[in-house]
């Protein structure tokens, strides 16, 4: 039986999830990398090998697919020590009065309900073993609302509330729950938010040095490798040039 810890990472095909998969694999974890873009997940297998990375393809909105994929893991991958609930995105940036209902559905279905479906599939094993660590990726948008952020902010406020409530419910089960709340990280996030408009996405990161996905991955690795007695419950991590959701020192 492997002594290495196994971490299931949602959204491992891009950005923060992908960087976290790389960092944790390099640091001796076994990774269950999940997402919809299987070609991207396969690159992780090619990099680290089948003994270190297992891929699972599902849309987190599809609760039956989530359940089936995780319940169907082969025995050597079925003990999940760490869950990184990272899959998520913003869809659109518009005042509430002109918001697109499909964008609202996407954000609530992926960022909130999808996270819950994954938890539902992973938690029984952790509770039975009285051991596990869940890290939810929230956002500064889950701490402060900002103009036009409405439903994305609501989805991340929900992640914040769930993280706090899960920590209370699971403390007696030996399962740690932590939350990482990043400010601006340069990933495909803005490209998704602006529906493929790369030029508009690039303006979000102009005039200052945004966080890189690897910065969040390093933090997650640090959180996961503290002594058993320690739970770093919540971290707000910002670029040096960012002071709040709306105050950014840009030099354009």
At how many degrees (to 10) do helices 115-129 and 150-170 cross? Answer: 10
Catalytic pick among 117, 152, 205, 208: 152
Partners of residue 177 on adjacent β-strands: 134
Q: What count of Cα atoms within 13 Å lies in the side-chain half-sphere of residue 141?
A: 23
By C-beta, is 126 or 140 nearer to ligand 8X3? 140
By C-beta, is 47 or 246 nearer to ligand 8X3? 246
Min. distance of Cβ 181 from ligand 8X3 in angstroms? 8
By C-beta, is 59 or 218 nearer to ligand NDP? 59
Q: Which stretch binds ligand 8X3 (CB under 6 A): 69-77, 138-146, 214-222, 223-231?
A: 138-146
Which residues make Cβ contacts (< 8 Å) with residue 104, sequence separation at least 6?
151
- For CA atoms 5, 8, 13, 17, give the dihedral sign: negative
The structure tokens 């419950």 sit at 233
The structure tokens 């995105």 sit at 89
Of 141, 166, 170, 220, the residue at the interface with ligand 8X3 (CB under 6 A) is: 141
Q: Which of ligand 8X3, ligand NDP, none has residue 245 at its interface (CB below 5 to 8 Å by kind)?
A: ligand 8X3
Q: How far is 72 from 175, CA to CA, in rounded Å? A: 22
Q: Which of ligand 8X3, ligand NDP, none has residue 15 at its interface (CB below 5 to 8 Å by kind)?
A: ligand NDP
- Binding footprint of ligand NDP on the chain (CB under 6 A): 10-11, 13-17, 35-37, 59-61, 86-89, 110, 137, 139, 182, 184-185, 187-189, 192, 213
Structure tokens, 199: 């030029």
Q: Which residues are catalytic?
A: 152
């Amino acid at each position: 039986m492997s002594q290495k810890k196994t971490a299931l990472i949602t959204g491992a095909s891009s950005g923060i999830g992908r960087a976290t998969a790389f960092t944790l694999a390099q640091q001796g974890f076994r990774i269950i990398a999940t997402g919809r873009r299987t070609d991207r997940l396969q690159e992780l297998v090619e990099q680290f090998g089948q003994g270190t990375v297992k891929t699972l393809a599902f849309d987190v909105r599809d609760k039956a697919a989530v359940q089936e994929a995780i319940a169907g893991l082969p025995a050597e991958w079925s003990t999940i020590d760490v869950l990184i609930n990272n899959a998520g995105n913003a869809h659109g940036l518009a005042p509430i009065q002109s918001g697109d209902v499909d964008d609202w559905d996407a954000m609530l279905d992926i960022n909130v309900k999808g996270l819950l479906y994954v938890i539902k599939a992973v938690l029984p094993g952790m509770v039975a073993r009285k051991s596990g660590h869940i890290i939810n990726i929230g956002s500064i948008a889950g701490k402060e609302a900002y103009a036009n952020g409405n439903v994305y902010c609501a989805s991340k406020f929900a992640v914040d509330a769930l993280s706090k409530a899960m920590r209370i419910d699971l403390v007696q089960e030996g399962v740690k729950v932590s939350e990482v709340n990043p400010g601006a990280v340069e990933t495909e996030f803005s490209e998704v938010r602006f529906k493929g408009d790369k030029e508009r996405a690039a303006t979000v990161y102009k005039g200052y040095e945004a966080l890189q996905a690897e910065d969040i991955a390093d933090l997650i690795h640090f959180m996961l490798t503290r002594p058993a007695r320690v739970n770093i419950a919540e971290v707000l991590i910002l670029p040096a040039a960012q002071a709040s959701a709306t105050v950014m020192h840009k030099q354009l």
